[in-house]
Structure 1
């Protein structure tokens, strides 16, 4: 059974024009992803593709004006607002993208210890601080006294001591040196190997491939492909979606081939396949019909032409 399963998730936000006309901006549409216990699923894609919104939807921390539809389950049971409140910070832990999630009025050590589930909180906090090279005095400091890198390590430490069954790591490595990044990734892998389900949201595909079991590729608010991490190799021959292949080949360490055009704004989504305006193999059908998810070669893809 999947620890988390998201099916046909759609999120829109109410906005008002200069003439006070209400409009809905669809920022996520028909998004699908699932995570098993002991598995790391890395979510990759351009900024604005819906990666962080997925994390906020799972935790129930979307803005009040968000309209949400679709199905989200945790251990087979619906993730209602009440259940999200009970699980958040306990069985579901977030390593947020912004260091502003730290409580500015609470010392770092106490914040980290609050996430621990048992009486060994102080011991666990000290051990994880050693692991992340945070000086002993850090536990007595407030967030404003930390550097950006130290604050990110403190956020990661909070998730590690929580021993949560679902850990959502939203861009957990920016601002860290290469040694600490390796350590952070290793620790996420260890948590998964001990049974936690990990949702890793990142722009760094290369880092994700070091520890992830699957890669979910997001584009313009939807999942275009979910593939085993081992499929990201060579020139992308094993990948299924044109965007996944283009994203892989655009990396500097690969062919560094830019993707023409730009990801559409939520207010200007095309009627058919969201990637069709930029796709070199798009047909009339692609431009007018939206492809559905289907299984292809031990993966999932949203494309009419994938084989």
Structure 2
């Protein structure tokens, strides 16, 4: 993709439009996944000791090339240590991010993850870290992640979960989240038509990319769900389309590069296509891909027959 950290794994980029360019946030971690079932070791030379979990993020801008050309990128002098999978977005003329901060304990030298808390992160110019605010769990859970920004035409919203569709607004002064919509499941769901044997209908969806204004008074985002197949984790993604009444529709599912661990954390909507950013290869690589708008529309239809 754009950046390979000398000591850490680089993956799960998030992207956003900034005028005529695209800016990115790339996650880096010393957690090395083996066999994608989270039997991990630690690779970092910069950790305080061999069992410390390190998360870092870098930022920059990029130009999506024509087919066959190299990706052109510029790296900013900015870092946001401690957070996982920051989704970047612009609101009110300022840049922010939504990311989670994991909590760990190391009894007997073995690192154990004990929880994670969502944070709203504020950035200064060129994504210099400006501060972060912890966001309380609406269900008092110690495990929270994958909340995504919803750039609604009436103001910033946060999607807590895509199905049932749960939306909150942010009360900056009160440092709290306020319920906006607590909905049901999707009004249309094309996601299970092609793979009925996996029994995926009971597996919950989680947030992936930002949710952005799209066309005909709708919004578009990417969601994901995770299951185990042949003792390996498999992540699959789908688009979610939302109307002004907060009714949702889920597309057919898709994979990017492999039937394995992949994760989309960024979306940019352009005139003729959309740009997706995602991690693949068991949390070790980051990529961007483009998809024509007509191909997005085709995923909101039944699977073709055999």
Same fold (TM over 0.5): no
Q: Of the two structures, which has the highest relative contact order with CA contacts closer than 8 Å and spacing of 6 or more?
A: 1
Considering fraction of residues, name the structure with more strand: 2
Considering fraction of residues, name the structure with more helix: 1
TM-score of the superposed pair, with normalisation by structure 2: 0.28
